[in-house]
Amino acid sequence: MGYGGPKMSRVSFVLTVFLSAVILAGAGYPAIAAPADETSAREAAITIDAGRTSEPVSKYIYGQFIEHLGRCIYGGIWAEMLEDRKFYYAVGADKSSWKGLSNDTVKMLEENSYVGEHTPHVQLTEDGRSHGIQQGKLGLIKGRQYTGRIVLAAKGTAKVKVSLVWGPGRQGRQSLAIDVRSAEYGTTPLKFTSGGTTEQGRLEIVGRGQGTFSIGTVSLMPADNIKGMRADTLKLLKELDSPIYRWPGGNFVSGYEWRDGIGERDKRPPRPALAWNALESNDFGIDEFILFCRLLDTEPYIAVNSGFGDDHSAAQEVEYVNGPPDTPMGRRRAANGHREPYNVKWWGIGNEMYGNWQLGYMNLKHYTQKHNLFAKAMRKVDPSIKLIAVGSVGAWSEGMLKSCAEYMDHISEHFYCERDKESLTEYVSLARNNIRGKVAAHRDYRKRLKSLEGRDIRIAIDEWNYWYGPRHYFLKDALGIASGLHEMIRNSDIVFMANYAQTVNVIGAIKTTKTAAAFDTTGLVLKLYRNHFGAVPVTVTGNTAGLDVVAAWTSDRRALTVAIVNPTERKYRLMMDLKGAKPTGTGTLWIITHSDPMAYNEPGKDPRVRIAEKTISHVLKELETPALSISLYLLAVKYSSVALQDKCGMRNNSVSSCKIEVRHTLKRKKSFFVFSFRTVSHCVIIS
């Protein structure tokens, strides 16, 4: 990698400070078995040259990905508690979450359907018995309020009662009575307070009277929802502090009709999610995604459907999102309550179109043509957008770069580590090695392909993670994710973006139950690095001893961060020769660790794995890293050669020699740094 700062050829003093850390060097990561005596620490020594910096780390490597898959959005981010609230499946069908009351037959009628293909109609009888439908398995908490709405119509006279049930008898429910006297659908708000805590709550909709009543749709959310989002999940997502979110897929996008997800939410048609053999309510569409991003103060990154979709639809989607309100799709957005354009910058064309698992996948020759059609149509609507193309190292990425370089800004790469290894150090290295391989391939493309001359097309690793089927992520996965981030940081000149897949539930960094949310171990790593790791990488060399270390200046160059991944079952004491900076000895240390590499967190329970933070002092010669840990040090510095060069305008110029002299004035307790150059007579800085 390249370094921005000039070398100093003659220095009148040598600054040597021993801290502690270990860096990754070379291609191998030796597995270190736990010795019999685990109380003593091993030692290692390396050198950090704080004056040799590489390109700043792109903030976008800390991106996230959310997809309409499993309980990532519905059941994770979106606060709706009811399954199939628009009755895509017939009440009582095997896949339906709705059941009729005992001995009730509910008919699904297509005539006058409120939303979708059919609506449930309940026949009432003159004997006074109640008839209706119910949905169970709701998570309720005692004292918590729940709000919603129900859309009803009736032929005849119907007295409908909607009840939230948490226990047996009258004391175990709260009911709302509604007189329904019109054949036109009307909406009634719902509000309940649960009198108990249960995972087996129930919503009942029953009626008495004459004739029939129809249930157009119904919704129920915790009252503390934030514009439809779960408050507990949003709280953690704000702590996660990701700068960008990719949506809506993923495999999902190749069968997604974005127009189904706009307009009045209760009238959006439910559809089958073909990619995942699931049901899509379309409650969370483009407008909700933009709202989600604004609530989190993050940037949206929208993928368009290049599977079953076409370039015209993609261009219309760009116009809906970014077009002025006097354009056809801009008017439609304005009619939906959003007059001003969203100005979304980042757009992806398709997802994994090289794979036979992808809806509408095709061979490379045909897809390059399709990609270019999409890019032209989308840029015609908004020339300012940035496009990310589908990539996959090998013939596919090379072919895309040869034929489509003019029609992309960056190219995506995906990987999932699906193998479980007996050796912990080997397991932790999987993410790092995947990234290293993709980086090496793209560096080679840059050397060989004429289509890349004069272009800076970088890698967007917009899906990456460990994926081998766990419900939870373990400490060992957290170690691997941290090591993956280290490899991206080392290659900051070519890795532009990375989107951890996924964010909530499934293989997410956050896990939820019906009533609680918690950081998984991998989420703690992402949160830690996003919030505390530096921005400008510096050079680290030396013996690794099986550890993985990176270091970087903070953006203001007032502190140096050192991150260490220790995948061994032995603690280390690390001696470091630090050049180009002098630490004050004070700082902060954050540690993620546990004695069990299989430790994980569960929502609603005290976390087993946490981020521990402590203030440190007198740290001048060594750092310690516990076994099975991620340690991130923030070390305050008195001065740095890099900062001084910046002040004197020396960065990236042709100065061939530099002389640094330090004088201490005890009375003033100041240090004067006096420079003399061949091209500059005197430059004095008072620190």
Task: Return phi, psi of residue 169, to 5°.
Answer: 70, 180
Structure tokens at 109: 């009628």
CA atoms of 549 and 558, how far apart (whole Å) = 20
Report CA-CA distances (Å) from 219 to 149, 265, 531, 655.
5, 11, 37, 69
550: number of Cβ within 10 Å = 29
Q: Examine the residue annotation and report whether 352 is marked as an active-site residue of this protein.
A: yes
Structure tokens at 447: 């050397």
Q: Is 469 exposed, middle or buried (0-12, 13-18, 19+ CB in 10 A)?
A: exposed
Which residues contact residue 41 at a Cβ distance below 8 angstroms, ignoring those fewer than 6 apart?
570, 571, 572, 573, 624
Q: Are strands 548-553 and 581-593 parallel, antiparallel or unpaired?
A: unpaired
Structure tokens at 74: 């519905």
Packing angle, helices 364-381 and 395-404, rounded to 10: 40
CA atoms of 124 and 139, how far apart (whole Å) = 30
List 613's β-bridge partners, or say none. 590
Task: Establish whether the linkage from the previous residue to 26 is cis, with ω within 30° of 0.
Answer: no
SS3 379: helix
**Which residue in the list 83, 288, 463, 487 is annotated as catalytic?**
463
Three-state DSSP string of 392-444: CCCHHHHHHHHHHHHHCCEEEEEEEECCCCCCHHHHHHHHHHHHHHHHHHHHH
**Which residue in the list 352, 398, 413, 487 is annotated as catalytic?**
352
Q: Cα–chain-centroid distance for residue 509?
A: 8
Which residues contact residue 90 at a Cβ distance below 8 angstroms, ignoring those fewer than 6 apart?
96, 108, 118, 120
- Tell me which residue of 21, 87, 82 sits closest to 50, measured CA to CA: 21
Q: Cα–chain-centroid distance for residue 399?
A: 29
Helix (H) or strand (E) holding 121: strand 119-123
CA atoms of 486 and 492, how far apart (whole Å) = 10
Residues assigned a catalytic role: 352, 463
